């Protein structure tokens, strides 16, 4: 049975519970039936309070990307499968003093891309350039664990880098770090400030302010034609190695308890169990790594910008937030564990969970496009409470990497990047063929996704950001 709450919000009754789907009618009817099977598997986890899909939903491992799933903290469950493999993966956006005319033509863009590559490792698995950073302090303290010179915010005494973020530090029981094997410590050392491959990127974008939100945009420091820097990365080797290891502990516990699911990739544990507490606490260490990693990538970009312009450049952070995690949050006067796998928190003006600088306006919600298409800066609406203030995290894949390589030509990719024109979106890779699986044709139409989010009343657009130059990792 399907209940239609609005043209952009449907509630589907599945055998093991209810699933809310936020998307337009056409997109809804084109959803793969497997996404509903996967949702029903997730709903087998006992005492689920709420579950939904955002319009960018697509198949994942154990759980679809684009999922919000909620349990009561008191008697609920945590699922590594509904957090995802790249724990703490998220977005960061910085303002610059550059304007569109400063990056006119391909020569200037190529120069900028080359300079960034000198300061940010994008083709390396590790780097030792930041020898003064202690990994133990970062995973314990997040941004507060970085040496002061990296968070000094030369243009501000208020340390904007510590205040204009979703969380500068995630607090947890650090005694759980004693369980981390030496192999993970060694592999993760030196990865801080590295981009990583897949869909991770650094992108220079041109701002186009939504006239209806111009007042908020101005308060945030955004203006038409401004160049901003968007960064997408996660917890790299720390979360990438730690997450699967402790997900296996949950799976072993399920076997001891005699609990099985139709999908062997779906694992979970009671929040108050030893396995549940171990996973939650160590997940928070990965969130600390992730926010510090994006910060150090931005630090490198800032150095590159200074080299590019020939003068000391201010590059203040607008916001940093995640889309792969599980957080203890207060909703409807109850403490809950909110899982977001490929969904972004978008709090409205006045919400108490907003960081202080954004208490009045609500915080920026950063939604990337798909390399060659626009990205968006949004703001949460009060009506978003119905979805636990979750919105999309991007466009969402419409083709697997293998299918993209088989079905999309390099010529089609080249056209979408406007290669050979003055408006070319310059990318750092020598050949587009090497990153064909990340082409715009691999993803849904981000404009359609954003319209569905707005249509559902979850959030609204403050600015549209057009791609100018892209740095991809491999």
Active-site residue identified among 5, 351, 393, 466: 393
The question of whether 331 is a catalytic residue gets the answer no
HEC-encoded secondary structure of the chain = CEEEEECCEEEEEECCEEEEECCCHHHHHCCCHHHHHHHHHHCCCCCCCEEEEEEEEECCCCCCEEEEEEEECCCCEECHHHCCCCCCCEEEEEEEEEEHHHHCCHHHHHHHHHHHHHHCCCCCCCCCCCCCCCHHHHHHHHHHHCCHHHCCCCCCCCCHHHHCCCCCCCCCCHHHHHHCCHHHHHHHCCCCCCCCCCCCEEEEEEEEECHHHHHHHHHHCCCCCEEEEEEEECCHHHHHHHHHHHHHHHHHHHHHHCCCCCCCCCCCEECCCHHHHHHHHHHHHHHHHHHHHHHHHHHHHHHHHHHHHCCCCCCCEEEEEECEEEEEEEECCEEEEEEEECEEECCCCCCCCCCHHHCCCCCEEEECCCCCCCEEEEEECHHHHHHCCEEECCCCECCCHHHHHHHCCHHHHHHHCCCCCCCCCEECCCCHHHHHHHCHHHECCHHHHHHHHHHCCCEEEEEEEEEEEEEECC
Q: Is there a binding annotation on residue 201?
A: yes
Is residue 283 a known part of a binding site?
no
472 is in an annotated binding site: yes
Is 369 marked within a binding site?
A: yes
The answer to the question of whether 1 is labelled as a binding residue is no
C-alpha to C-alpha distance for 76 and 272, rounded to whole angstroms: 8
- Asked if residue 224 belongs to a known ligand binding site, the reply is no
By the 8 A CB rule, do 439 and 415 touch? Answer: no
Q: According to the annotation, is 202 in a ligand binding site?
A: yes
396 is in an annotated binding site: yes
Whether residue 190 is annotated as binding a ligand: the answer is: no
76 in a labelled binding site: no
370 is in an annotated binding site: yes
Q: Is 280 annotated as a binding residue?
A: no
Q: Is 6 annotated as a binding residue?
A: no
Q: Check whether 395 is labelled as a binding-site residue.
A: yes
Annotated binding residue at 248?
no
According to the annotation, is 16 in a ligand binding site?
A: no
- Find tokens 């990792």 and name the residue: 473
Q: Is 203 annotated as a binding residue?
A: yes
109 a known binding residue?
Answer: no
Q: Is 41 annotated as a binding residue?
A: no
Which are the catalytic amino acids? Answer: 393
Which residues define the annotated binding site for GMP? 199-203, 323-324, 368-371, 375, 393-396, 472
Which residues define the annotated binding site for Mn(2+)? 86, 200, 232, 323
Which residues define the annotated binding site? 86, 199-203, 232, 323-324, 368-371, 375, 393-396, 472
């Amino acid at each position: 049975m399907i209940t239609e709450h609005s043209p952009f919000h449907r509630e589907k009754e599945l055998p093991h519970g209810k699933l809310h789907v936020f998307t337009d009618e056409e997109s809804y009817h084109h959803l793969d039936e497997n996404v509903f099977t996967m949702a029903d598997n997730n709903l087998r986890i006992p005492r689920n309070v709420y579950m939904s899909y955002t319009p960018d939903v697509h198949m994942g491992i154990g759980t679809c990307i684009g999922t919000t799933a909620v349990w009561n903290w008191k008697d609920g469950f945590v699922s590594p499968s509904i957090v995802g493999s790249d724990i703490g993966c998220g977005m960061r956006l910085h303002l610059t003093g550059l304007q569109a005319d400063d990056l006119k033509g391909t020569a200037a863009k190529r120069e900028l891309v080359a300079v960034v590559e000198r300061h940010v490792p994008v083709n390396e698995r590790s780097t030792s350039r930041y020898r003064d950073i202690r990994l133990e302090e970062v995973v314990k303290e997040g941004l507060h664990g970085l040496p002061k010179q990296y968070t000094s915010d030369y243009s501000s005494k208020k340390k904007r880098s510590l205040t204009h973020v979703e969380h500068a530090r995630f607090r947890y029981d650090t005694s759980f770090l004693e369980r981390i094997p030496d192999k993970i410590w060694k592999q993760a050392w030196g990865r801080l400030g590295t981009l990583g491959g897949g869909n991770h990127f650094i992108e220079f974008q041109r701002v186009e302010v939504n006239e209806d939100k111009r007042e908020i945009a101005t308060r945030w420091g955004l203006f038409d034609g401004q160049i901003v820097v968007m960064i997408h990365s996660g917890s790299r080797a720390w979360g990438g190695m730690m997450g699967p290891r402790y997900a296996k502990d949950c799976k072993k516990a399920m076997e001891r308890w005699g609990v099985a699911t139709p999908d062997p990739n779906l694992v979970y544990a009671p929040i108050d169990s030893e396995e549940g507490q171990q996973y939650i606490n160590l997940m928070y260490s990965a969130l600390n790594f992730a926010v510090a990693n994006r910060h150090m990538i931005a630090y490198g970009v800032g150095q590159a910008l200074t080299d590019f312009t020939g003068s000391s450049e201010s590059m203040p952070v607008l916001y940093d937030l995640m889309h792969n995690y599980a957080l203890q949050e207060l909703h409807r006067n109850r403490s809950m564990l909110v899982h977001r796998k490929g969904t972004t928190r978008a709090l409205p003006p006045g919400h108490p969970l907003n960081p202080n600088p954004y208490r009045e306006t609500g915080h920026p919600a950063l939604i990337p496009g798909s390399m060659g298409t626009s990205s968006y800066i949004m703001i949460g609406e009060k009506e978003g409470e119905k979805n636990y203030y979750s919105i999309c995290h991007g466009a969402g894949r419409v083709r697997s990497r293998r299918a993209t390589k088989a079905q999309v030509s390099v010529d089609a990719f080249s056209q979408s990047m406007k290669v050979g024109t003055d408006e070319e979106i310059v990318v750092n890779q020598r050949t587009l063929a090497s990153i064909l699986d990340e082409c715009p044709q691999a993803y849904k139409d981000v404009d359609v996704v954003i319209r569905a989010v707005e249509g559902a009343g979850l959030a609204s657009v403050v600015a549209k950001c057009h791609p100018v130059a892209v740095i991809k990792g491999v």
